Chains A and B, each alone.
Chain A
């Protein structure tokens, strides 16, 4: 049974939106870095100089990069290297073009995301900023050797902006990692959390732990229906002790599961409805309809036994000696 996966419209969001970087957030970051309009002004003045040094600086940077064998692997051919250099140049020139707004942040995030995607370790990524600042210092100083104070101020403005870039770059790495971890967790939960356990001949046990959303309910029902067929089950105990909340949607999913099982000739008992859940359900007016419900798993299994015509009888006191041996 294959059903279409649920699509999230993530691709319609910008990176900044996905990472909750708003106008205010960007403004706040600038405040922390004490990056103000005068910094922007100084950087804009640097633009013509940057145009001159960009090429030479990028050349020496890549010379440095390619002297490391582990980094060489990222540039398998000359065409790629040339393309990366051109991009790098755009990147540097953008530093001195003013308008450090959300568009600027988005562009920076994109570049960070690309580096993350090709698995470039962040240490190399950061070393680029280091190299850049050290190189650029010389060029800035040469503009006006008579006024080292002014050169210093310009350099600090550039440094602030560079740190803004760094914060954005690191965020893309962290964000990507968090996304991966979350996806893996989700996957693990989905795989682990819907076991259908054959408990006795003709009886299945289905403990549910965690949230029930429509995707999971669907998967769970599928598993259950296939298992009913495979084990020729007549009675199923669904235990929802591990389900934190039961709202009308969850209740609806449960009713559907019960109905589908019934169509295949199996009866479902739902166990593990806590007093809290019972209270909320009644308060919200949620009705499980004709579904058999019991308080705890133990009662659920007893009820299922009864439905199957079994009665569990204690036939002897546990053997003390055997107990001790096993302990």
Chain B
């Protein structure tokens, strides 16, 4: 299943709509990186609310998306991890170190905006 990537101002929103195969995840990774480049986006929200499984491949892909987009100057927020998934993820040692996480889409956009303002202030001060 293809993951739609929506543009919302300076940010991109990738909303996962159902269980993803490994191929679909890899394609999401490629599409996102290209979309960030194309739209010169400052941040990406990946919404995983509907996912009821998070395996090590998915966790790794999400982490590499974070690293890749950071190289392009954008931030990634993963939102909507369910309580059960969060619990089983830590049990499996999948901690998504170094990525931002948010409660839901709204929270994720707020986080990106806050980070953007902070960056702006810092740059301005320089």
- Inter-chain CB contacts under 8 Å: number: 55
CB distance from B45 to the nearest CB of A (A): 11
CB pair B87 A221 closer than 8 Å: yes
Contacts known (A222-B83, A226-B83, A263-B95); A256 close to B90, Cβ less than 8 A: yes
CB pair A259 B103 closer than 8 Å: no
CB pair B103 A262 closer than 8 Å: no
Q: Which residue of B lies closest to A266 (CB)?
A: B103
B86 at the binding interface (Cβ < 8 Å): yes
CB pair B90 A264 closer than 8 Å: no
A121 at the binding interface (Cβ < 8 Å): no
Q: Which residue of B lies closest to A257 (CB)?
A: B90
Selected contact of A264 from candidates B86, B91, B95, B111, CB within 8 Å:
B86
| Set of chain A residues within 8 Å of B85, measured between Cβ atoms | 263
> What is the CA–CA distance of A226 and B83 in the complex, to the nearest angstrom?
6
Selected contact of A256 from candidates B78, B79, B91, CB within 8 Å:
B91
CB distance from A317 to the nearest CB of B (A): 36
| Set of chain B residues within 8 Å of A234, measured between Cβ atoms | 103, 107
CB pair B79 A229 closer than 8 Å: no
| Set of chain B residues within 8 Å of A260, measured between Cβ atoms | 83, 86-87, 89-90
CB distance from A206 to the nearest CB of B (A): 14
Selected contact of A225 from candidates B83, B96, B102, B107, CB within 8 Å:
B83
A1 at the binding interface (Cβ < 8 Å): yes
A228 at the binding interface (Cβ < 8 Å): yes
CB distance from B86 to the nearest CB of A (A): 4
Interface residues of A in 234-257 (CB under 8 A from B): 234, 256
CB pair B87 A1 closer than 8 Å: yes
| Set of chain A residues within 8 Å of B107, measured between Cβ atoms | 232, 234, 265
| Set of chain A residues within 8 Å of B89, measured between Cβ atoms | 260, 263
> What is the CA–CA distance of A261 and B79 in the complex, to the nearest angstrom?
12
CB distance from A265 to the nearest CB of B (A): 4
Interface residues of B in 32-85 (CB under 8 A from A): 78-79, 81-85
* 0 or 1 for each of B79-119: is its CB under 8 Å from A? (1 = yes): 10111111101110001100001110001100100000000
| Set of chain A residues within 8 Å of B103, measured between Cβ atoms | 228-229, 232, 234, 264-266
Selected contact of B83 from candidates A218, A229, A232, A259, CB within 8 Å:
A229
| Set of chain B residues within 8 Å of A264, measured between Cβ atoms | 81, 83, 86, 101, 103
* 0 or 1 for each of B5-27: is its CB under 8 Å from A? (1 = yes): 00000000000000000000000
CB distance from B121 to the nearest CB of A (A): 14
> What is the CA–CA distance of A225 and B87 in the complex, to the nearest angstrom?
8
CB distance from A249 to the nearest CB of B (A): 14
CB distance from B96 to the nearest CB of A (A): 6
Q: Which residue of A lies closest to B79 (CB)?
A: A265
CB pair B86 A225 closer than 8 Å: yes
| Set of chain B residues within 8 Å of A221, measured between Cβ atoms | 87
- Sampled A-B contacts (29; CB under 8 Å): A1-B83, A1-B84, A1-B87, A221-B87, A222-B83, A225-B83, A225-B84, A225-B86, A225-B87, A229-B82, A229-B83, A232-B103, A234-B103, A234-B107, A256-B90, A256-B91, A260-B83, A260-B90, A261-B86, A262-B95, A263-B78, A263-B89, A263-B96, A264-B81, A264-B83, A264-B86, A264-B101, A264-B103, A265-B101
Q: Which residue of A lies closest to B94 (CB)?
A: A263
Selected contact of A265 from candidates B87, B91, B95, B102, CB within 8 Å:
B102
> What is the CA–CA distance of A226 and B85 in the complex, to the nearest angstrom?
11
* 0 or 1 for each of A1-13: is its CB under 8 Å from B? (1 = yes): 1000000000000
> What is the CA–CA distance of A35 and B84 in the complex, to the nearest angstrom?
61
Q: Which residue of B lies closest to A3 (CB)?
A: B87
Q: Which residue of B lies closest to A261 (CB)?
A: B86
Q: Which residue of A lies closest to B100 (CB)?
A: A265
